[in-house]
Amino acid sequence: MELWFTEKQTPELGITCKVKDVLHTEKSQYQQIAVLDTYQFGRLLALDGIIQTTICDEFVYHEMIAHVPLFTHPNPKRVLVIGGGDGGAIREVLKHKSVEAAYLAEIDGRVVEVSKQYLPEISCALDDPRCHVEIGDGIKFVQEHKGEFDVIIVDSTDPIGPAVGLFHQEFYRSLYDALSDNGLFVAQTESPFYNAGLISDIYRSISEVFPITRLYLAHVPTYPGGMWSFTIGSKSYDPIDVRIDVKGMDMCYYTPELHKAAFVLPEFVKNIIKGGL
Amino acid sequence: MELWFTEKQTPELGITCKVKDVLHTEKSQYQQIAVLDTYQFGRLLALDGIIQTTICDEFVYHEMIAHVPLFTHPNPKRVLVIGGGDGGAIREVLKHKSVEAAYLAEIDGRVVEVSKQYLPEISCALDDPRCHVEIGDGIKFVQEHKGEFDVIIVDSTDPIGPAVGLFHQEFYRSLYDALSDNGLFVAQTESPFYNAGLISDIYRSISEVFPITRLYLAHVPTYPGGMWSFTIGSKSYDPIDVRIDVKGMDMCYYTPELHKAAFVLPEFVKNIIKGGL
């Protein structure tokens, strides 16, 4: 028997991959959690049927969501990750020696537990003494912490189900308040090929709250279209004007030159942003 | 009835899209040719079941395979496209006013005819008076034309079937001979995620023939992994050290800044190249 897992990336488009083994499935309080072992990508985590991360390509997303904002801040000490229960973003955050405390606010404790059990390469830093895991609503967590974080990373699922509130301007205002004086945040902001309207709205919303807004791109093969966007809102540091020293840090995707190149956008992506302003 | 077209991008991975209409299928002398109308991408051309181009995302590939080499040469007058029977590369080539003659050497005349019939937005420039379509073996065509072209674009299918010979060093030597004194060529060179060994071999092969070898990337959502590579072999002009004027040219992906950013490679892609040297 051949087993194939198909994710509908849009109603008319799918990615399908051959499955070696279904390692885990459960229905948590919030979503359906599955870990599959696939031939192409190794083990992958899917939430409500959507691929979140895979052993083979997770380095792209996790390096790019973490190092771009952390290297934009000259001395990030306190960092918050919202979502990201697999621990991949936290793992990259903790590669920065300046970081004294990294908080993970994940709504679904089962994602953390399942990732610890089946994806140790990704979740390995969750037991680091500098890491503090808070199971609960990220929106509430942000509202209860004012001026506390140098960098906030919104590592959310797609804007359906539990993550909807993480794509609203009200939430960006809470992030502004939760950041320290010169703080900045980044959010994953979906695919320019398939979510242009959403990106346009998000960019405008953030730029109404933060003085500096910047969008950058990375190649994530398991996400729709393979082109993924991230948007930064920053109080004072500009992510395209930074000095970066990666000495002693082990990375597979991120480089100082790529940090800057990732902000150079194709014409149609520039137009998506302009469309929102 | 729901009709879905699935391309196996690797033996363990597929892209699948919902089909509105099967507009054309035939078995030519060289391959199976199909034009499907899909909900996600509009009309698409598939050869032997592999997506070659779609109405929705063709601009990325065609702009990037044409404008990067053409803007690297300060005054490209004679250009050759090998493969590319859909006409998309030629359309972009002819946006350059310096170009006096653009030759298309396509082995399969039926691809040209089918593209003219079903993909007029892509094939529209094939009837331009500056365009000369030569149906025949690109390898032979190159061998019969010495020192004639300022830029050669190898817009081939994957290295199986009729295109195998286009990925050999012997062919790169013929390209060298077919180029004018300061000429350069570009070839599409597959996915860094899924064809690392091939890219490594190609890069080494080209760098043994040409003094300047450079690899660049673009986001093509309908190609495996969404990250596509192109490799340039150049006799004297360096593609990362160019002055670009796009005034009056209509583009959706390419920009002068993106031309340079496309050569800034993720760490793992740098390592693929190093592995071959």
For chain A, give the secondary structure using H, E and C.
Answer: CCEEEEEEEECCEEEEEEEEEEEEEEECCCCEEEEEEECCCEEEEEECCEEEEECCCHHHHHHHHHHHHHHHCCCCCEEEEEECCCCHHHHHHCCCCCCCEEEEEECCHHHHHHHHHHCHHHHHHHHCCCEEEEECCHHHHHHCCCCCEEEEEEECCCCCHHHHHHHCHHHHHHHHHHEEEEEEEEEECCCCCCCHHHHHHHHHHHHHHCCEEEEEEEECCCCHHHEEEEEEEECCCCCCCCCCCCCCCCCCCCCHHHHHHCCCCCHHHHHHHHHHC
> Which candidate in B13, B92, B263 is best for mutational testing of the A interface (most A CBs within 10 A)?
B13
What value does the mean pLDDT of chain A take?
A: 97
Q: Where in chain B is the domain with CATH 3.40.50.150?
A: 58-276
> For residue A276, is pLDDT > 80?
no
> For residue B204, is pLDDT > 80?
yes
Q: Summarize the confidence of residues A198-226 as an average pLDDT.
A: 97
At the fourth CATH level, which superfamily is domain A3-54? Spermidine synthase, tetramerisation domain (2.30.140.10)
Q: What is the pLDDT of residue B90?
A: 98
Q: How far is CA A275 from CA A190, A200, A203, A236, B34, in A?
A: 16, 6, 10, 24, 36
Q: What is the pLDDT of residue A165?
A: 87
Q: What percent of chain B has pLDDT over 90?
A: 95
Rounded to whole angstroms, the Cα distance separating A59 from A51 reads 14
Q: With an 8 Å Cβ cutoff, are A14 and B15 in contact?
A: yes
pLDDT tens for B73-132 read 999 999 999 999 999 999 999 999 999 999 999 999 999 999 999 999 999 999 999 999
Q: Where in chain A is the domain with CATH 2.30.140.10?
A: 3-54
Report residue A179 CA to chain centroid gap: 18
Q: With an 8 Å Cβ cutoff, are B268 and A261 in contact?
A: no
Interface residue B270 vs chain A (CB under 8 A):
yes
Q: Summarize the confidence of residues A43-64 as an average pLDDT.
A: 98
pLDDT tens for B131-170 read 999 999 999 999 999 999 999 999 999 888 778 889 999 9
Interface residue A256 vs chain B (CB under 8 A):
no
> For residue B276, is pLDDT > 80?
no
pLDDT tens for B214-271 read 999 999 999 999 999 999 999 999 999 999 999 999 999 999 999 999 999 999 999 9
Length of chain A: 277
Q: What is the pLDDT of residue B213?
A: 98
Q: What is the ipTM metric for this complex?
A: 0.96
Q: Residue A149 — very low, low, confident or very high, per pLDDT cuts 50/70/90?
A: very high
Segment holding B102, helix H or strand E: strand B101-106
**Active-site annotation holds for B241:** no
Rounded to whole angstroms, the Cα distance separating A5 from A21 reads 11
How many CB pairs below 8 Å do chains A and B form together?
Answer: 118
A108, two tokens:
């679904």
Q: Residue B277 — very low, low, confident or very high, per pLDDT cuts 50/70/90?
A: confident
Which CATH architecture best describes the domain A58-276? Answer: 3-Layer(aba) Sandwich (3.40)
Q: Which residues of B touch A220 (CB under 8 A)?
A: 226
Q: Summarize the confidence of residues A211-225 as an average pLDDT.
A: 97
Residue A76's nearest CA partner among A151, A133, A135, A132 is A151
B256, two tokens:
């002068």
Nearest CA in chain A to B222: A225
Interface residue A42 vs chain B (CB under 8 A):
no
Q: Which residues of A touch B14 (CB under 8 A)?
A: 4, 15-17
Interface residue A3 vs chain B (CB under 8 A):
no
Q: What is the pLDDT of residue A193?
A: 97
